[in-house]
């Protein structure tokens, strides 16, 4: 049995649910139940049939709706592994840090190409960090305070999952000086990121090896599964760039969040319109059951 969860960024009506049911039926699947998960916002359609074909049929529904199709029995996950930049926060930290050095445009272009999978991630990271050599260390904390904003839905997602017994890992190709406070604020249990080398109060232009790359992201996912005895089907990975593809592919539910094309193609599901709270509805959790301390 599969479930297709429809989440509207604006308003979800009976017409939207009927259209989804018709699209599922049109591929030869059988809709067995329709449930309004949250009035005007989210609905579940349970069905038997081809989940891949159903996802494809539902992807192009009109309006600002996101649809996630998955096995009904394993929809509530026990492990989430997430990217940070442009996923759990709204910015790319290295681009904003570069702005304090007056070279944002130069570095942002490389970041964009790396996220699209056009450049080797580790080489691109080293090249960008080298351009930041001699930047005052104080600019890191200033950048974090002035530029970092938590992605809407991030706190609700992670804190609600944690409150229901899930383990949460933030694994970033960015830097610990950003990731550790971000991870603590959102509610992650573990944070993994790169370490910027500092010498005499300025950036040395290097990062400590080994670099947290796509292989490390997948390793953290698989390591947490093994350590905690969590089946693959009970895991979720969410990210937006090419560097996230291995962990997206390795998870039970790999999610592309407002993502680059290669990440979208690799994912089991994608969020194009809504925020990270879509992933709570996808697990069958309505807003009345979200962690009360989570405000974003």
Q: Which active-site residues does the annotation give?
A: 83, 85
CB atoms inside a 10 Å sphere around CB 215: 15
DSSP-derived secondary structure letter, 232? G
Among the residues of the chain, which ranges form H helices?
Answer: 14-26, 51-59, 93-100, 104-115, 121-131, 138-147, 154-163, 176-186, 214-228, 245-250, 261-266, 278-281
107 close to 165: Cβ distance less than 8 angstroms: no
The SS3 assignment for 59 reads helix
How far out from the chain centre does Cα 13 lie?
Answer: 27
Preceding omega of 248 cis (within 30 degrees of 0): no
CA 149/CA 169 separation, integer angstroms: 19
Tokens of 199: 């010498």
30 close to 39: Cβ distance less than 8 angstroms: no
Task: List 66's β-bridge partners, or say none.
Answer: 7
| Sign of the torsion formed by the C-alpha atoms of 61, 63, 69 and 72 | negative
């Amino acid at each position: 049995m599969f479930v297709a969860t429809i989440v509207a960024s604006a308003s979800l009506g009976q017409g939207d649910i009927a259209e989804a049911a018709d699209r599922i039926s049109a591929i030869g699947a059988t809709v067995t139940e329709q449930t309004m998960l949250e009035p005007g916002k989210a609905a579940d359609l349970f069905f038997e049939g081809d989940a891949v074909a159903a996802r494809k049929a539902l992807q192009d529904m009109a309006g600002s709706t996101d649809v996630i199709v998955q096995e009904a029995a394993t929809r509530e996950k026990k492990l989430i592994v997430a990217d940070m930049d442009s996923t759990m926060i709204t910015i790319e930290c290295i681009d904003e840090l570069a702005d304090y050095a007056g070279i944002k445009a130069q570095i942002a272009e490389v970041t964009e190409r790396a996220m699209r999978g056009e450049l080797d991630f580790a080489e691109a990271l080293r090249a960008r960090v080298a351009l930041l050599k001699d930047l005052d260390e104080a600019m890191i904390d200033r950048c974090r305070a002035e530029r970092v904003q938590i992605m809407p839905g991030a706190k609700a997602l992670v804190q609600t999952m944690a409150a229901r017994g899930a383990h949460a890992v933030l694994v970033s190709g960015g830097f610990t000086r950003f990731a550790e406070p971000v991870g603590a604020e959102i509610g992650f249990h573990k944070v993994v990121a790169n370490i910027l080398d500092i010498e005499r109060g300025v950036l040395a232009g290097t990062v400590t090896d080994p670099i947290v790359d796509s292989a490390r992201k997948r390793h953290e996912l698989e390591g947490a599964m093994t350590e905690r005895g969590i089946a693959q089907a009970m895991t979720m990975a969410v990210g937006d760039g090419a560097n996230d593809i291995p962990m997206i592919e390795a998870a039970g539910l790999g999610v592309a969040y407002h993502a680059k094309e290669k990440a979208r193609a690799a994912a089991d599901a994608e969020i194009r319109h809504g925020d990270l709270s879509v992933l709570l509805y996808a697990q069958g959790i309505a807003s009345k059951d979200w962690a009360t301390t989570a405000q974003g």
